[in-house]
Amino acid sequence: MALAVAESKHIRWANPCAQNAGIVNGMQESSARARVADLVLIPRDIGAEAKAIVEVALWAQHFTPQVSVLPDGVLLEVAASLRLFGGRETLLLRLREGVHELGFTPQLAVALTATAAWLLAQHADADYADAESCATLLDRLPVHLLQSVQVHLDTLQAIGCRRIGQLRHLPRTGITRRFGADVLVELDKAFGVEPEVRAWYEPPETFCARLELPARVDTTEALLFAARRLLMQMTGWLVARHAAVSRFSLLLHHDTIRHREHMTSTVAIALGSASRDLVHLTLLLQEHLAKVTLFASVTELSLQADDIVQLAAPNSELFPTTVSQAESLGRLIERLASRLGEDAISRLALAADHRPERCSTLSPAHRGTTPRSGHSTRENTAFPARPSWLLAQPVRLLMRQHKPFYQSSLSLLAGPERIEAGWWDDATATRDYFIARNDGHLLLWVYRDRQGAHAAEPGWFLHGFFG
């Protein structure tokens, strides 16, 4: 079927079937219909195009911050990114795959100037034009690709000027007099005679994207494919903002035909450690969607970044480091929490209490080191030596020859460390802690109860073992 997009009585785009019939960009509608009687013409939707271009611009932020948004597409300055992404071919392949996944068909071209690349990309999927072949390829392009000659297309057609090369070989003074100086400016920018200055796309301060589904969706499995398009935009936005997301939400907008009121379901996702990795965020979203039951069909999706943190670009590592290992553990915790529930996985967090049995609390693992209400973390505090195994309840030690006894008489190696705390909750602890050793070279953590808090008679207690 021959299909074309029309604007202002001219063809703006034609599919391969229409192109094979001789329909080209810039042709009048009447001429196009004369060539193909059953041609399907669709009016151009500027709003939908602008939304699609922003989606591609956000995705392109993964590869370069120098993205320029045009009415019909995007321009990328990638010279500084080629080495980082493995060369021109690899970078183009990743760009092409990403645009396809967003639901669009790309036409890519690479040239030494932005205007030349833009003209080549409008004509065909041209890949690369080096310094030697660029001028030749540009001269062969149809003249209607130049934005500055759109109002003069009929005149150029009448004088037989159909190629850029034919226009370029006309006298420059005549071009300026008949078509204006903008034509020469565009030509000079394309051929590298005049420098170009472009404004780079600036992502918004906050991220919230919406996607209308092509049909009503009744299963969560089908929602993941569409939601990934939104995740691709959000991760590009995060890269541009030098940030990572710690909490985001997917909003499911349900069908309003069966329900009079507009209804929306929210899938909220909290991360244990902030991330902008597309694969990781997709897996988390998949786990959460698997637990969602749809009460009505979904017609639209919205994705919003609720909390973000600043995050520098990661350095490449030859061997695993503490940071990379912690990141792997954090991702495992996030996936387990998404499957088993946020409160099913717990971790220890420091609490502001000197008593060893109360200096830590259990908190949901996906919240990192966030303490419970009324407690504060002390990650930067330098604690004295602590045993790796702390007993749930201290054990009173026997006394032999006025020395504490555990399998043998104990020798005190270090101490005392005095702890006096608990007056605020009626669980006062007044202890002197020591590191002790018995004849079997077992290191113990013992304390002397200075005021007999556990019994009427002061004594020695075993509280932990050093590994």
Express each pLDDT in 50-89 by its tens digit: 999 999 999 999 999 999 999 889 999 999 889 888 898 9
Mean predicted lDDT score pLDDT of the chain: 84
- The percent helix, strand, coil of the chain (3-state, each to 5) is 35, 30, 35
* SS3 assignment, position 457: coil
The reply to whether CATH 3.90.1150.10 applies to domain 208-314+321-331 is no
pLDDT at 114: 92
Q: What pTM was estimated for this model as a whole?
A: 0.66
pLDDT at 328: 63
CA distances from 225 to 96, 116, 299, 356, 438 (A): 18, 35, 14, 50, 64
Would 3-43 and 208-314+321-331 be classified into the same CATH topology?
A: no
Mean pLDDT of 1-11: 88
Distance CA 444, CA 276 (A): 45
Considering only CA atoms, which of 298, 300, 314, 305 is closest in space to residue 281?
305
* SS3 assignment, position 278: helix
Q: Give the pair of three-digit tokens for residue 68.
A: 């320029």
pLDDT at 366 over 70: no
**Residues facing 69 on adjacent strands:** 74
pLDDT at 370 over 50: no
pLDDT at 369 over 60: no
In CATH terms, 3-43 corresponds, of 2.40.50.140, 3.40.50.300, 3.30.200.20, 3.40.1170.60, to 3.40.1170.60
Distance CA 235, CA 279 (A): 10
Domain-wise residue ranges, the chain: 3-43, 47-190, 208-314+321-331, 345-379, 389-465
Residue 245, classified by CB atoms within 10 Å of its CB into exposed (0-12), middle (13-18) or buried (19+), is buried
CA-based torsion, 143, 149, 152, 153: positive or negative:
positive
Residue 290 pLDDT class (50, 70, 90 cuts): confident
Express each pLDDT in 339-362 by its tens digit: 666 666 777 777 777 888 778 777
Q: Is the peptide bond before 320 cis (omega within 30 degrees of 0)?
A: no
pLDDT at 108: 92
pLDDT at 134 over 70: yes
